Amino acid sequence: MNQNYIDKFITEAMAIEAGEAKKAGMLGFMARVLTMATLPHRATSENEFTRRNGNLELTIWSPKSVGLPYGSIPRLLLSWVTTEAVRTRSPVLELGPTLSDFMAELGYTPTGGEKGDITRLRNQMTRLFSSSISCIYDDKSKTRIVNVNIAEEACLWWNPKTPDQLPLWKSTITLGSGFFKEIIEKPVPIDIGV
C-alpha cells in the first residue's frame, strides 16, 4: 500500500471517531507520535524504554532517581495536556485551583495513602514531566529524528494532605516548545471516554 493511501485512511477513520466523540462531549486530542507508539504499561527498573511500530521508534528517558512513567495515568495525563494545549493554544497549562479539582477532571477521587490516587498521580506526573522523548522514523530512503521534552517546567504546588485547599500559587505545566509545536500543528482527535 502506498503511504498517501494509508494517511488518507487513517485521517478519515479519525474524523469519524472524532465526530462521534464530539457528539458525546468527549472529544480530546493526543500527540500524533504517541498514537503510533506509547509509554510502558508496567513499572520497570530501567530509565530508558523503546517501542517500535513499523518504521517508527519511540524512546523515552527519565532520570534514574525518578523512573519512567508507566500505566494508564501518564496516558491520561498526556491526553489531558494535549487537549488543553489545543483548546487554549498556550504552552502554559493551569492544572486547576486544587488537587481535588484536577483529579476530578481526570476522573479520579483524591484518596491518600501509599497506594491512593493522590500518591499515584503525583508520582506519575513527576515521572512524565521529567521525561524526554526521541522519535526516529527511518524507512531506508529518509530519516526524521525529533527529540522533545514533554515539559520545560512543572510547578505542582498542591499539598497532598489537603487536596481541597487552594494553594498560594497555581499549579502549572509549561510544555516543551517542540512538544507544544507538534501537538498544536498535528493533534489527533480521540474519544476521551475511551
Give 54-65 pLDDT, tens digit per residue.
999 999 999 999
**Cβ distance 146 to 178 under 8 Å?**
yes
Confidence of residue 163 (pLDDT cuts 50, 70, 90): confident
pLDDT attached to residue 5: 58
* Within-domain flag for 15: no
* Within-domain flag for 21: no
- Of residues 33 and 24, more confidence is placed in 33
**Cβ distance 91 to 174 under 8 Å?**
yes
pLDDT attached to residue 24: 41
Query: What distance in Å separates the CA atoms of residue 160 and residue 116, rounded to the nearest whole number?
Result: 11
For the chain, the domain total comes to 1
pLDDT attached to residue 7: 64
- Of residues 186 and 70, more confidence is placed in 70
**Cβ distance 38 to 128 under 8 Å?**
no
* Within-domain flag for 22: no
Counting residues of the chain whose pLDDT is more than 90, the rounded percentage is 52
* Within-domain flag for 40: yes
Give 19-28 pLDDT, tens digit per residue.
554 444 457 8
Residue 123 scores a pLDDT above 90: yes
* Within-domain flag for 75: yes
pLDDT attached to residue 23: 47
Q: Which residues contact 70 (CB under 8 A, 6 or more apart)?
A: 39, 40, 41, 42, 43, 44, 124, 127
pLDDT attached to residue 10: 61
Residue 47 scores a pLDDT above 80: yes
The residue segments making up the domain with residue 70 are: 27-191
* Within-domain flag for 18: no
Residue with cell 523503546: 50
* Within-domain flag for 41: yes
* Within-domain flag for 4: no
